Structure 1
Amino acid sequence: MQADLHIAVVGAGPAGLALALLAQRELPRARLCVFDARDAAHDVSGDPRTLALSLGSVQLLQRLGVWSPAAAQPIRRVHVSQQQASALPGPWAEAEVEIDAGKEGVPLLGAVLSYGALVAPLQRAWDQAVLAEPHRLASRYGTRVRGLKPLDGGAEVDADIAERFDLVVVAEGGVFAEQARKPLSRDYRQVAWVGQVEVDGLPEGTAFERFTSHGPAALLPLGPGRAALVWCVPNDDDPVAPLDDAQRVAVINHVMPERAGRITGISPLKRFPLGLNAEHSLSQGRVVRIGNAAQTLHPVAGQGLNLGLRDAFELVRLLGREASVESALRRLELKRAPDRWGTIATTDFLARSFTWRLPGLAALRGLGMAALQRLGPAKSLLARQMMFGRR
């Protein structure tokens, strides 16, 4: 199958470039072309957007030779708690779960880094691969793909010229507010405020997620005294928008647990609408979608990019093992379904639960967290799924 396989990758972001590099190594006889509207001379290294990677994603990047520990902050503990009291006595009153890398037998649970620190080395590695093998690898930077046309045994990419490929992988998804609606779509009527904060007493290597009556809030470690903030609230009655910086600092300090430290400063925050936007299947004919192009999720579980990287890994693995593209794509749907739909269902349930005003809901959620903290095997299973997905 590999001998004549001509693959187009649309989107030179993390998922697209990771897939292209994997395919370059694992499918040595296939031809590959990466399309992206970004100009080749554009320097992405300074893009400050914060990304959270699971351990499985870190290992994939290490395998590709593009992981730099110095550019990332390891996550060695994750602390999840609920602001509302559980109203239950004794040990059940503590509505919190803590997952520790050492107790799970791994060096780290994941890592935090900027978009630029992730994409720049991926792009350099891909550009070097193209220079080394120009007969089978190509880049089409500064080229916007205007459309895709299904063909028998392939698909046509409509860019600066119309070109036929045996397989097209779309890895360019964008954010929820800018996307055309897919078959499975839900507007959560929530927004995420994102930025960075300065924190006194922030525990090293610890990520915090706090469930509040408005929605989840998270602090992701960026280094000594610094953390990335993701703060989700209702869109219709946004409590963050009218606040000045000093008021935002005061509210976040009230929201987050004391053990997270005391926030002393905050950067300008950006606001993003949140929703679910997913395809029923990853492939349609010879066009495959991965990452945000296949499913855009609420950030409550921090699994969007990790899911896309697992999509990429499994697709390349199957293309190298199956006898035909069709059999590889059929197997892809079966292999990815538990992880993909499990993650979609979990994030969708959690996102919608913050809009429910049911009596006792906070108490039930708190009871579940307290029980999970005390059930070691169940907590370890959750930790493994967060690190590596459902297998």
Structure 2
Amino acid sequence: MSLDTPLPAPTLRLAVVGAGPAGLALALLAARSLPRAQITLFDARPLERDVSADPRTLALSLGSVQLLQRLSAWNAGAAQAIAEVQVSQAPPTLNHPLFGPAGEPEVRISAAEQGVAQLGAVLSYGQLVAPLQAAWLAETARAPQRLLSRFGQPVAGLKPVEDGIEVDAGIAESYDLAVVAEGGVFAEQARKALTHDYQQNAWVGTVMLAPDSPAGVAYERFTRNGPLALLPLKALDDGRRRAALVWCMPQAEDEIAGLNDAQRLAVIQSLLPARIGRLQGISALKCFPLGLNAERSLVEGRSVRIGNAAQTLHPVAGQGLNLGLRDAYALVDALKPCPSAAELDRALRGVEWQRAPDRWSMIAATDFLARSFAWRWPGLPAARGLGLAALQALPPVKRALARQMMFGRR
């Protein structure tokens, strides 16, 4: 079919608002799975702006990696595979020889024991978005009448209309369905139906690891003030190992801004288990306030919210983007047999029900953990330590948790 030949009328006119990882993945998946759909991707960012150098760190589950591989948008050379996850608790806590090599309560989940090549991967925002954007642009070049890009056009608002939704991006246009994937961070968001300010900060940056530190190990340490995580990054060209740091602190006790690099490194070192080895250096750190900000429903009429636009979570479980990618997959899968308006509404109701167990279990778990670090109840660290120890001692339960973290609740 030549480019001048009119295409059959589209069965679905879909607007995707936001060209971040979730929005691009959804648009690309829809382009390949819904051949009769006309898809328009909107983003306020100009197309000529280079996103590849954005250093923000993202942790992806195995299910997310597999989805990106299917989309031919996975840069394996830029990603560090996660071979093992170690979750432990810093003193004061229970100490017992049964609680692991250090005598402290801990959970270790490895790819080998789960029978997979990796549990997930860590890479930068730019290294994830750039291949997705390139793949989307290649699709639009092959089908310019059906797939449209509106970069540099922010969407000012959405308005329900009869049998559809109106998207205002300078010119109001009607679509059958709009998917909002433009999330942002907690501090900059309008408040949704469910919101809670944890009064915590997340300090993020990079630390240099000891030369003999194992590759591909992610650490999460529960401290008195909050979780501290080290996510493995691809080694530098000279072989030096490094990790992304996520360090959560209550705002009322946060004195990190007043510390120099050496002091910050010393405090972090004191909180980590000795097996990690001596940290070699630390980058400049950035600070982000933390909170829960979630919609009760993904679907509102003919608009659907996914990713951070639907739920912004505490980073304690590192599952925000993974939830968004699972939202995108479920939505596109539901739209495959969906040619009419009545069937579209029914499909959207099905997506809401299908995604609810995965979504609400993750919202509840992260919210509980985030709030628990503000509690100063006697015996709480001991109880949390016993929970970690019990999880490690019950392989079927640990296996179920690992599967949920890799693929979501099914």
**For this structure pair, what is the TM-score category when the shorter chain's length is used for normalisation?**
over 0.9
**Distance across 2 between alignment mates of 1:29 and 1:228:** 42
Out of 102, 105, 119, the position equivalent to 1:95 is 105
Q: Which residue of 2 aligns with 1:279?
A: 295
> Any idea what SS the aligned residue of 2:40 has?
strand
Q: Which residue of 2 aligns with 1:47?
A: 54
Q: Which residue of 2 aligns with 1:327?
A: 346
**Distance across 2 between alignment mates of 1:52 and 1:355:** 25
> Any idea what SS the aligned residue of 2:280 has?
strand
Shift of residue 360, structure 1, vs aligned partner: 0.4
Matches within 5 A, 1:176-195: 176-195=186-205
Out of 319, 331, 337, the position equivalent to 1:315 is 331
Whether the 8 Å contact between 2:234 and 2:242 is mirrored in structure 1 is yes
* AA partner of residue 235 (structure 1): Q
Residue 364 (structure 2) pairs with residue 354 (structure 1) = no
Alpha-carbon deviations, 1:127-180, whole Å to 9, x = none?
Answer: 111111011100000001111111121111111211101000000000000000
Out of 135, 142, 146, the position equivalent to 1:132 is 142
Whether the 8 Å contact between 1:85 and 1:366 is mirrored in structure 2 is no
**Distance across 1 between alignment mates of 2:408 and 2:255:** 34
> Any idea what SS the aligned residue of 1:318 has?
helix
Pairwise CA RMSD: 1.1
Q: Which residue of 1 aligns with 2:3?
A: none
**Distance across 2 between alignment mates of 1:88 and 1:53:** 32
Q: Which residue of 2 aligns with 1:172?
A: 182
Runs of 4+ aligned structure 1 residues displaced above 3 Å come to none
Q: Which residue of 1 aligns with 2:78?
A: 71
Shift of residue 263, structure 1, vs aligned partner: 1.0
Residue 29 (structure 2) pairs with residue 22 (structure 1) = yes
Matches within 5 A, 1:1-391: 3-87=10-94, 89-92=96-99, 94-200=104-210, 201-224=212-235, 225-322=241-338, 324-391=343-410
**Distance across 2 between alignment mates of 1:185 and 1:129:** 38
Shift of residue 237, structure 1, vs aligned partner: 2.0
Whether the 8 Å contact between 1:203 and 1:261 is mirrored in structure 2 is no
Shift of residue 240, structure 1, vs aligned partner: 1.3
Shift of residue 90, structure 1, vs aligned partner: 4.2
Unaligned runs of 5+ in 1: none
TM-score (norm 2): 0.93
Further displaced range: 29-38 or 146-155: 146-155
> Any idea what SS the aligned residue of 2:232 has?
strand
**Distance across 1 between alignment mates of 2:337 and 2:223:** 46
**Distance across 1 between alignment mates of 2:269 and 2:290:** 24
Whether the 8 Å contact between 1:291 and 1:311 is mirrored in structure 2 is yes
Whether the 8 Å contact between 1:53 and 1:305 is mirrored in structure 2 is yes
* AA partner of residue 228 (structure 2): A
Identity of paired residues, percent? 64
> Any idea what SS the aligned residue of 2:290 has?
strand
Alpha-carbon deviations, 1:176-228, whole Å to 9, x = none?
Answer: 00000000000000000000011113211000000000100000111341110
> Any idea what SS the aligned residue of 2:253 has?
coil
Whether the 8 Å contact between 1:338 and 1:390 is mirrored in structure 2 is yes
**Distance across 2 between alignment mates of 1:123 and 1:232:** 32
TM-score (norm 1): 0.98
Change (3 A) 1:88 1:246: closer
> Any idea what SS the aligned residue of 1:300 has?
coil
**Distance across 2 between alignment mates of 1:49 and 1:227:** 12
Change (3 A) 1:65 1:308: same
Shift of residue 88, structure 1, vs aligned partner: 5.4
> Any idea what SS the aligned residue of 1:186 has?
strand
Shift of residue 347, structure 1, vs aligned partner: 0.3
Q: Would you say how many aligned residue pairs link Structure 1 and Structure 2?
A: 390
Whether the 8 Å contact between 1:86 and 1:367 is mirrored in structure 2 is no
Unaligned runs of 5+ in 2: 1-8, 236-240
Shift of residue 4, structure 1, vs aligned partner: 2.3
* AA partner of residue 396 (structure 2): P
**Distance across 2 between alignment mates of 1:264 and 1:270:** 19
> Any idea what SS the aligned residue of 1:381 has?
helix
* AA partner of residue 219 (structure 1): L
